[in-house]
Structure 1
């Protein structure tokens, strides 16, 4: 968790916002530090977190998390963190038995049906009724990242449907938050990615966009972070609150976080 970013967003683990959909995106720089920030932020906020990790392994996130003051193994063991390791599931789908059930079975079936992935999220975050969820503030879904689903052959419409169902369940029904990362490929011919980015941008209440510097690389400054906060009541000129800040490179093992 980066205190500087919390100050910019005017939030803290003691009083996190609820019912929000936050979109993380990056262009010409790595926005993975934003994922690590929100993961550690919500764990420190004592929230129940379902982390759909499609890009990196559990050990990667755990090593970075320890540098940010959280232990993912301990969080998983006490039931606070439900971790879905997409890399492991992909290997099992491609090289495992066809009869074996798998959340990413759509890869083998060459379809865009993300129902099984949604059901995983729903089961992970919906209170069981035995009182075990009373110790957590509220549920949070974190996805890293949605662009991987497109590369696996899932259509943008199916990804949008998945997020819509997750928002309805997590944000509206359970009064929790959804945070998802999408890469901006900056390729005009990638219509699916552009469609996904634009649609999610209109649905989100907060957008954090990490970008490379237009002038190129600079010592100790690797890019800029654009923050766009969208309210329920937009101004008449349809402009949302937006401000920028520079990204300063911070070195941590197995990842380079920037803020």
Structure 2
């Protein structure tokens, strides 16, 4: 199996991240006005390219969003779902569907909300990995939306720990995205960084908008830390070391 950070990949984002097959917990921190969705979509692309399986829990974007982006990047999520290689859980849609039913996610018992969600995720992953021999990836985009449901930080930290413990199944890896716009988000993000094999931080430029650079990318592993800049295009991303943007974009 090719590692997500294998040098044979032509994906510039994954080449910068250098994720190894042994890196099974990946945390993505999205700071303030920055948008880290390109990290998620490029990881999805590589997961499906390697013919692995994917369980996507999306609080922030719809399946249609990921399908549209996937078409631009060269993959078809609808086909992946039809082939049994992907499952999607959209908790916010479930909440809307459950209004008035007094069951599942729409409950006053906030602790039970995260438990129900966790068991939904675990059930899907167990079914996807059972007797398949394939690696399964869980992607949650993004954890910070649990605050929108009135769930306390202690319960969100417990939820993150539940998900991290899923890697006790050697065929499961976990990718967690979190938007940081408050001190409560910061606590969750710090917890995710502590347990992650790879921590990816996406930030906007401190100097504001630039024609040459979209934002900053920091990749931290257990042993090192690297800084990059990136430029977003309609059909992809270019990454480069600080000061190399003009060379990469206009050579």
1:172 Cα deviation after fit:
2.0
1:66 maps onto 2:71 in alignment = yes
Match of 1:193 among 182, 185, 189: 185
Alpha-carbon spacing, 1:83–1:245, altered in 2? closer, same or farther (3 Å) = same
- Aligned-residue CA RMSD (Å): 2.3
Match of 2:86 among 75, 81, 87: 81
**Per-residue displacement from partner, 1:129-178 (whole Å, max 9, x unpaired)?**
974x23x2x11110000000112111122122122122222x12234210
Alpha-carbon spacing, 1:130–1:108, altered in 2? closer, same or farther (3 Å) = closer
Any idea what SS the aligned residue of 1:55 has?
coil
1:9 Cα deviation after fit:
2.8
CA distance in 1: counterparts of 2:10 and 2:147, whole angstroms: 30
Any idea what SS the aligned residue of 2:111 has?
coil
CA distance in 2: counterparts of 1:257 and 1:139, whole angstroms: 25
Any idea what SS the aligned residue of 1:49 has?
strand
CA distance in 2: counterparts of 1:257 and 1:145, whole angstroms: 21
Number of matched pairs: 229
1:108 maps onto 2:113 in alignment = no
- Unmatched runs of 5 consecutive residues or more in structure 2: 1-8, 240-251
CA distance in 2: counterparts of 1:45 and 1:38, whole angstroms: 11
The corresponding residue for 1:148 is: 145
1:25 maps onto 2:25 in alignment = no
1:127 Cα deviation after fit:
4.4
Match of 2:15 among 7, 19, 25: 7
**Per-residue displacement from partner, 1:38-88 (whole Å, max 9, x unpaired)?**
122211121121110111111111111111111111101111101112332
Match of 2:211 among 198, 216, 219: 219
The corresponding residue for 2:62 is: 57
CA distance in 2: counterparts of 1:197 and 1:159, whole angstroms: 11
The corresponding residue for 1:181 is: 177
TM-score by length of 2: 0.83
CA distance in 2: counterparts of 1:72 and 1:127, whole angstroms: 19
TM-score by length of 1: 0.80
Matches within 5 A, 1:248-259: 248-252=231-235, 259=239
Matches within 5 A, 1:90-105: 90-94=95-99, 96-98=100-102, 101-102=103-104, 105=105
